[in-house]
Amino acid sequence: MPIIVHHLENSRSQRILWLLEELGMAYVVKRYARNPRTMMAPPELKAVHPLGKSPVIEDDGVVVAETGAIVEYLVDKAGGQLGAAADAEIARRYRHFLHYAEGSMMPPLLALLVVGKLGPLGWPARKPVQGMMDTHLDWLESELATRPHFAGQDFTAADIMMSFPLEASRARAGLDATRPHLTDWLARMHARPAYQAALKEGGPYAFA
């Protein structure tokens, strides 16, 4: 039975489609459109999970929410493919970036989104929040100066998790060619056949 992905347009759930393509797992997509006025998820998602957020997957009666938890579930289901390596240091970096993507990078990115919607009222907060983001981006640039992927030499699910915050950073947090290792990494991720296949399955995606 294929995995059902409850997929919200222009959201974190694009990563789940990408991971499923990389793992070669069968899935079907149930698409949801954002409210055009509020840009919030539609109420129909609450019938899938009480939080009404995306992504959510259903796998033979099991419902899993939260992007990182879904990634870990799918990697485990695939027998560890694209998961932590045997090398302890590479495994530590893998787990760090798997959780860092949402735990550390997304809060200031969301703050920038809110600040941008406040107009002049948000101007005083823009500089300090951007400063937080610059600290993240500068550190990540230095990390990718030493290896091609976030965990190590090989592509892993940690790279998939890191894609959305870095795509969002390019859209609204100043990530550009002045950080060449990050922009090169994004270009390489977007060129992967599984990434392109996921875009076709998920529909329009503003951050690609």
Do 94 and 178 lie in one domain? The reply is yes
What does the pLDDT look like over 90-130, one tens digit per residue? 999 999 999 999 999 999 999 998 888 888 887 888 899 99
Can you give the pLDDT at residue 118?
A: 82
Do 158 and 95 lie in one domain? The reply is yes
pTM for this predicted structure: 0.94
What does the pLDDT look like over 42-67, one tens digit per residue? 889 999 999 989 999 999 999 999 99
Task: Assign 33 a pLDDT band (cuts: 50, 70, 90).
Answer: confident
Can you give the pLDDT at residue 119?
A: 87
Do 77 and 93 lie in one domain? The reply is no
Enumerate the H helices of the chain as residue ranges: 14-23, 67-77, 88-100, 106-117, 123-144, 157-172, 180-190, 193-202
Q: What is the per-residue burial (b if ≥16 Cβ within 10 Å, else e) of 40-49?
A: ebeeebeebb
CATH classification at residue 133 = 1.20.1050.10
Can you give the pLDDT at residue 4?
A: 97
Do 144 and 57 lie in one domain? The reply is no
Q: Fill in the amino acid letter for 141.
A: E
Structural domain contains residue 144: yes
Domain count, the chain: 2
Q: What is the dihedral of CA 188, 191, 195, 197, to 10 degrees?
A: -170
pLDDT at 74 over 90: yes
pLDDT at 40 over 90: no
Provide mean pLDDT across the span 176-198: 98
DSSP for residue 33: P
Do 95 and 73 lie in one domain? The reply is no
The DSSP bridge pattern shows strands 27-32 and 3-8 to be parallel
CATH classification at residue 61 = 3.40.30.10
pLDDT at 205 over 80: yes
62-65 β-sheet, strand order: 27-32, 3-8, 56-59, 62-65
Structural domain contains residue 184: yes
Its domain, for residue 178, covers 88-192
Do 108 and 128 lie in one domain? The reply is yes
